[in-house]
Structure 1
């Protein structure tokens, strides 16, 4: 079978297609014929050598979708989404290959209404969004939620799930193209940063109160403005740092107004919390409240263009590779 292997990390990473043996059945695991695997920010960070626990050679990608070929739990032919969490694609070989052996507890049967591509985009993005909103941010119906990075897969999921949970999502975008993507995702309002002052617009949209909660996928200098834009005793949940990991914060803003700056990392999830989150997400899928957006799909041997698309920061939705 074909496997896309990252043989070295760094500014100029090396990736090659290798022929490897097909995985054999074993208790507690399923052999999956892959149909699609994600090219996400974690994969990109590992490729660039920014995750010191990962060791080359390594097959990347921690979520995807496929068909069960052999299992002691699922019937052959079952369509499944794969949640790789903090192990697959970082500590163990991931999903950018023809076949994979995955622990049964990391597999979730896909609804017939979802394609394999949509199923591949569901696990990490939506579990991350759901847990950041509920488990860390403690979202409540009726709240106003600020969300950055909304054109990305996690940002899109945050908007959809905020609405599904009864909140009012406001998108923060850097370009008109991404503003249109945010509206399609269901944002109640869109703030275009090149032309708008974030805190002023949020104040206007909330009659001077500020947002109740902010979810930040971008980091960098934007985090300071998000902190300023939430109300007294409001919360900011930091999920990612595509825009930089060393923001300049106004501590007076945090201290005087008792604002809470919190972090979320999928690595800290347990198998039970992931299972509960995924069941909640699937209930929203069945109701038609959430649906992943696919930016592009690339053949496995066209991986360089897939990763170029990732670092371009022009993607709207999830980038996938397909065997």
Structure 2
């Protein structure tokens, strides 16, 4: 089969190589799946660079989430049958940017029938992250104001849709006019172009000086620092990631004086600490997809041969919505 592999760490376009490798075989408790589609995520770029919290041995195949068709089941697998369409995190070092993949049966979930392969592939991590961040961690309530950074990206558009579904007023921060259009399409009530506007002033004006009740921040750096200037009394800042490349150092005196919370979110921990919560979230997301409340914004469906370029563009921040690698 064909699979993208990283033999030496570096920028995705240089580090990823499309190789011919032997077909994998499922072990006990595993599934062999034909990869129908794979989501492209910023962590894929970090994996290529050797900067992710998990550093798989070289060579490895990137691609952290997939939608696939079950081809074979390993010994001891129950509840999943050949032919089932599933979604799953990939089992690194054998990631999703390949024609076939082996994944642990314990981590697979049924693909939502309302979504096509590309939408299903990109729903899992982004929407689970958004749901846990907004509901489990921040307890977002109807009528509150939600500030979403990188609101035109994959993680951001998911948070926007989930925020609107919860009854919040959503303010999205983007970089550029084209991204502003994407954020509006995702459902933002107010969109701020950080290149030309001060989001702190916009948030304060939109909320009558109160500030944002919840801040959803996958960017870090200056986005976090300035968010602390416009978070509301008893507001919550959800730290999702650091796509800016800068990890902020919050002043705890400021947290105390303004009486707000800083909440970390590492969604992957729920897979090991509370897998039942992940399944319950999936059931809720499947229901919302069936109702049309959420719909992953797949802006590009890229063939397997274009995976390295797609990961590089996501790393460079030049894309909007979600990119999916689709195997024909």
Q: Give the structure-2-normalised TM-score.
A: 0.91
Q: 1:178 to 1:250 in 2, by over 3 A?
A: farther
Q: 1:275 to 1:41 in 2, by over 3 A?
A: same
Q: Residue in 2 aligned with 1:238? A: 239
In 2: Cα distance, 1:201 partner to 1:322 partner: 39
Q: Residue in 1 aligned with 2:149? A: 148
What are the superposed Cα offsets for residues 170-226 of structure 1, whole Å, 9 maximum, x if unpaired? 111221111111110011111222332222211111112111110001111111111
Aligned partner of residue 167 in structure 2, secondary structure:
coil
Shift of 1:51: 2.4
Shift of 1:136: 1.3
Q: After TM superposition, list the pairs within 5 Å mapping 1:1-323 onto structure 2.
A: 1-11=1-11, 14-51=15-52, 53-54=54-55, 55-71=57-73, 72=77, 73-84=79-90, 88-89=91-92, 92-247=93-248, 249=250, 252-270=253-271, 271-323=275-327
In 2: Cα distance, 1:318 partner to 1:139 partner: 24
Q: Does the 8 A contact of 1:221 with 1:244 survive in 2?
A: no
Q: Does the 8 A contact of 2:200 with 2:229 survive in 1?
A: yes
When structure 1 is superposed on structure 2, of 258-267 and 35-44 the one drifting more is 258-267
Q: Does the 8 A contact of 2:34 with 2:71 survive in 1?
A: yes
In 1: Cα distance, 2:247 partner to 2:100 partner: 39
Shift of 1:117: 0.6
Shift of 1:29: 2.3
In 2: Cα distance, 1:40 partner to 1:251 partner: 31
In 1: Cα distance, 2:147 partner to 2:47 partner: 28
Calculate the aligned-residue CA RMSD, in Å.
1.9
Structure 2 residue ranges without an equivalent (≥5): none
In 1: Cα distance, 2:142 partner to 2:53 partner: 39
In 1: Cα distance, 2:81 partner to 2:285 partner: 23
Q: Does the 8 A contact of 1:6 with 1:58 survive in 2?
A: yes
Aligned partner of residue 268 in structure 1, secondary structure:
helix
When structure 1 is superposed on structure 2, of 188-197 and 17-26 the one drifting more is 17-26
Q: Does the 8 A contact of 2:118 with 2:325 survive in 1?
A: no
Shift of 1:244: 2.5
Aligned partner of residue 228 in structure 1, secondary structure:
coil
Q: Give the structure-1-normalised TM-score.
A: 0.92
In 1: Cα distance, 2:247 partner to 2:65 partner: 28
In 2: Cα distance, 1:134 partner to 1:303 partner: 33
Aligned partner of residue 151 in structure 1, secondary structure:
coil
In 2: Cα distance, 1:189 partner to 1:11 partner: 34
Aligned partner of residue 111 in structure 1, secondary structure:
coil
In 2: Cα distance, 1:163 partner to 1:196 partner: 23
Shift of 1:96: 1.1
In 2: Cα distance, 1:222 partner to 1:24 partner: 45
Q: Does the 8 A contact of 2:94 with 2:102 survive in 1?
A: no
Q: Does the 8 A contact of 1:239 with 1:264 survive in 2?
A: yes
In 1: Cα distance, 2:94 partner to 2:26 partner: 16
In 1: Cα distance, 2:194 partner to 2:120 partner: 32
In 1: Cα distance, 2:203 partner to 2:306 partner: 42
What are the superposed Cα offsets for residues 129-185 of structure 1, whole Å, 9 maximum, x if unpaired? 111111211111221110001111110100111111222211112211111111100
Q: Does the 8 A contact of 1:32 with 1:66 survive in 2?
A: yes
